[in-house]
Structure 1
Amino acid sequence: MEYPRQITAIQAAAILISTIIGVGVLPLPLFAVRDGNSGAPLLTLLGGIIAYIGIWIITKLGIRFPRQSIILYSEAVLGKWTAWIGNVLIIGFFAFLTALAAREFGEVVITSVLKRTPLEVTVIVMLLMASLSSRNDMTTFAYIHHFYLPLIVFPIVLILALSLKNAQFINLLPVWGNEPSPTDMWRGVLTIAALFQGSFVYTMVIPAMRRPDRAMVAGFWGVFIAGGLYVSTVIAAVGVFGPAETNNLLWPTLELAKATSLPGNILERLDAAFLAVWVTAVFTTLFSTYYFTIHAMSRFFRLRDHKLLAPFILPFLFALAMVPQNVVQMYDIIAIAGRLGLLITIVYPLIVLLVAVIRKKRGDAGNGKDAENAS
């Protein structure tokens, strides 16, 4: 299958950034502090490094097979039956990821803003927005992310910069944490790395790039900027509230925005403005994972178009989103599923890459033939 090559390296980086920065930014400091204490920023940094390793692997694969997505070239590398198992797990995992993101969005909205609105309404509205937007082609997909990126990044940077004036450096000491156990630290690193898993959509972006050889540079800057914002968010939250208080907050980043004001008291609280930015970030993340799910399904079933799948999977995603009984169970499921998902988003592509190198498999960059022709 050929892809229209119209996405630039800047747009590819924008897709990564706006996909990674999403619903998980609210509980991020809590996840980091729970296992790292005052070492939460270091733990977040290590999680970002693991996430970059995953991006490096799928980018290497994308450069090696510049005309196909992982759904196709994995069949050429591993064989159809083995790859089908991996592809089904990928599709199922990202469908589950999309459903959980929609549920988390709904929980925040009914708790902080629309307290009398049923949870089901907020979840279905966000899924409908993602479903309708996912009917566009890959070029429009890139334009949407590129357009919303400044609306996401600049306000978050402003809020973080203003909040740091209230931070106390002593709250960040010791840098490596207060005698954390290696097991807790490793669990926390994997939990943080799981927040970057939306970057796996890069596997469908690289074949649509004008110059796939620049995918590595775009991938680095995408993860670097998103990871830098994540580390800065944790530093700001822990610096302002301290590890103990951060551990008691369900959404520390939202509380950080409440405690931050513009100079001259133009706005005494920035939580309303932050929530507006956060809704945009949630939409771009949900849009990416929803789009990737139906895109992967269309490649798996060898369909000519993915548009018909957009409304088809919506009821299933809504049903999945309603499975958790409460917000505590939801975050337990998110943490466990996220860590297990690293086997799909990092370990599985690593196996495909190693086998491709051993078997000397390589896609055709010149005539756009399918992955099966490479075998």
Structure 2
Amino acid sequence: MEYPRQITAIQAAAILISTIIGVGVLPLPLFAVQSANTGAPMLTLLAVHVAYIGLWLITKLGIRFPDQSIIGYSRTIIGKGPAWIGNILIVTFFAVLTSLAAREFGEVVITSVLKKTPLEVTVLAMLLLATLSTRNDITTFTYIHHFYLPLIVFPAVLIVALSLKNAQVVYLLPLWGNNPPDLLHGTLVVASLFQGTFIYTMVIPAMRRPRRAMIASIWGMLIAGGLYISIVVAVVGVFGSEETENLLWPTLELAKTTTLPGNILERLDAAFLAVWVTAVFTTLFSTYYFTVHAMSKMIGLKDHKLFSVFVLPFLFAAAMVPQNVMHMYEIITIVGRFGLVLTIGYPLLLLIVAMIRKKGGASDGARAAENTK
């Protein structure tokens, strides 16, 4: 067996939730409003369904091949040569995704909190933290996500709930938007914020009962997707679609306008940023872990610790490529849409070929059946 089977379905769902809720929380309402104005909540709901297609595909593959990650079963399904090409593209994409998340973190920190701190320092600090964390095994990886989940979800839910008292229903009408400029583009951009769920391919082989992976994936997407939709509803309901388009990080502005009952805290943006930093770490932790873990499996290493430090300079260099914030988000949208081809198209290809060639499942799944008893 390739992985220790210690992860429960609840822990698997926790990994998905803490991975999805991350750096993309801040610009999420802006992305949605730019493409659908008042229809931003409906667009986000549609994006959640698109994102779940990719998660459903890798979950089905994980159940068919419960003892292997995507690096292993892709070789079984389509052969070593084609699998090598597909895996290289996947690893490269998640390496770029990790570097862009670190850069976005740095931009927010130097703009909102540490205004005199060099950008390079904040980016390198987050990457170093992730580097040290990725040297742990999959069990410790799970415990870290499970521990931080309440610290991410509950404060976010509280801020959204408190902000809704200032919302205006008229700002959310019409529900499908007023002549939305580009629903397809916006749906793909928002759906790309969920691509960290690809870490699930590493999680399923370590689950005690891989057959429960589908239930965990549904709950994970429901909670994370529901929170994302709630954030968009709150932002558009408070600011309106036209004002939201003028805000670079609308969710942060929402936290600034939210107060606790009794004016215990007049602004919650400082507390929200502390929660957001934790969310960024767990997301970047997952993408970084997938990158180094997949690289080690591709060349047959038993330990991925070597790559944890090896890829750090390359990730830092990639994070410094964008010239400014606007250039960074242009790159993020392009990379995100391209990534959907990989995170949805590649698993879809593998699942179709596996079904045609009758790989996995009943033919190769005797051990999987034993593990689900």
TM range (shorter): over 0.9
Which residue does the alignment assign to 1:143?
A: 143
Which residue does the alignment assign to 1:302?
A: 300
Q: How does 1:133-172 map to 2 (within 5 A)?
A: 133-172=133-172
Shift of 1:53: 1.0
**Aligned match for 1:282, one of 276, 280, 283:** 280
Residues 176-206 of structure 1 deviation map (CA, whole Å, 9 limit, x = unaligned)? 000124xx10000000100000001000000
Moved more, 71-80 or 125-134: 71-80
Shift of 1:259: 0.4
Contact 1:160 1:236 in 2 (8 A): yes
* SS at structure 1 position matched to 2:305: coil
Q: Which amino acid in the other structure matches residue 130 of structure 2?
A: A
Which residue does the alignment assign to 1:185?
A: 183
In percent, how many aligned pairs have the same letter? 75
Shift of 1:366: 4.8
Matched, 1:347 2:348: no
Give me the whole-angstrom Cα distance separating, in 2, the residues matched to 1:115 and 1:204: 38
Give me the whole-angstrom Cα distance separating, in 2, the residues matched to 1:136 and 1:347: 30
Q: How does 1:247-262 map to 2 (within 5 A)?
A: 247-262=245-260
Contact 1:20 1:196 in 2 (8 A): yes
Residues 200-244 of structure 1 deviation map (CA, whole Å, 9 limit, x = unaligned)? 100000000000000000000001100000000000000000000
Give me the whole-angstrom Cα distance separating, in 2, the residues matched to 1:359 and 1:284: 37
* SS at structure 2 position matched to 1:135: coil
Structure 1, gaps ≥5 residues long: 369-375
Which residue does the alignment assign to 1:265?
A: 263
Which residue does the alignment assign to 2:59?
A: 59
Give me the whole-angstrom Cα distance separating, in 2, the residues matched to 1:209 and 1:331: 36
Which residue does the alignment assign to 2:72?
A: 72
Which residue does the alignment assign to 2:17?
A: 17
Give me the whole-angstrom Cα distance separating, in 1, the residues matched to 2:225 and 2:62: 22
Which residue does the alignment assign to 1:87?
A: 87
Q: TM-score, normalised by structure 2?
A: 0.97
Which residue does the alignment assign to 2:238?
A: 240
Q: What is the alpha-carbon root mean square deviation over aligned residues?
A: 0.9
Residues 21-70 of structure 1 deviation map (CA, whole Å, 9 limit, x = unaligned)? 00000000000000010000000000000111111110000000000001
Q: Which amino acid in the other structure matches residue 11 of structure 1?
A: Q
Which residue does the alignment assign to 2:111?
A: 111
Q: Which amino acid in the other structure matches residue 107 of structure 1?
A: E
Q: Which 4+ runs in 1 deviate beyond 3 A?
A: 363-368
Shift of 1:287: 0.5
Residues 261-312 of structure 1 deviation map (CA, whole Å, 9 limit, x = unaligned)? 0011100000000000000000000100000100100110110100111011
Residues 94-114 of structure 1 deviation map (CA, whole Å, 9 limit, x = unaligned)? 000000000000000000000
Give me the whole-angstrom Cα distance separating, in 2, the residues matched to 1:94 and 1:320: 12
Contact 1:237 1:252 in 2 (8 A): yes
Which residue does the alignment assign to 2:228?
A: 230
Give me the whole-angstrom Cα distance separating, in 1, the residues matched to 2:365 and 2:147: 29
Which residue does the alignment assign to 1:373?
A: none
Which residue does the alignment assign to 2:335?
A: 337
Q: TM-score, normalised by structure 1?
A: 0.96
Give me the whole-angstrom Cα distance separating, in 2, the residues matched to 1:83 and 1:178: 45
Give me the whole-angstrom Cα distance separating, in 1, the residues matched to 2:16 and 2:280: 13
Count matched residues.
366
Give me the whole-angstrom Cα distance separating, in 2, the residues matched to 1:283 and 1:179: 38
Q: Which amino acid in the other structure matches residue 44 of structure 2?
A: T
Give me the whole-angstrom Cα distance separating, in 2, the residues matched to 1:298 and 1:365: 25
Do the aligned partners of residues 63 and 367 (structure 1) sit closer, same or farther apart at CA in structure 2, a change above 3 Å counting? closer
Give me the whole-angstrom Cα distance separating, in 1, the residues matched to 2:320 and 2:155: 31
Which residue does the alignment assign to 1:29?
A: 29
Contact 1:67 1:365 in 2 (8 A): no
Give me the whole-angstrom Cα distance separating, in 2, the residues matched to 1:28 and 1:68: 34
Shift of 1:365: 4.2
Which residue does the alignment assign to 1:291?
A: 289
Shift of 1:79: 1.1
Residues 336-370 of structure 1 deviation map (CA, whole Å, 9 limit, x = unaligned)? 110110011001100000000000011644559xx
Structure 2, gaps ≥5 residues long: 369-373
Contact 1:29 1:252 in 2 (8 A): yes
Which residue does the alignment assign to 2:4?
A: 4
Give me the whole-angstrom Cα distance separating, in 1, the residues matched to 2:318 and 2:138: 26
Matched, 1:122 2:148: no
Which residue does the alignment assign to 1:215?
A: 213
Q: Which amino acid in the other structure matches residue 287 of structure 1?
A: F
Q: Which amino acid in the other structure matches residue 75 of structure 2?
A: E
Q: How does 1:320-331 map to 2 (within 5 A)?
A: 320-331=318-329
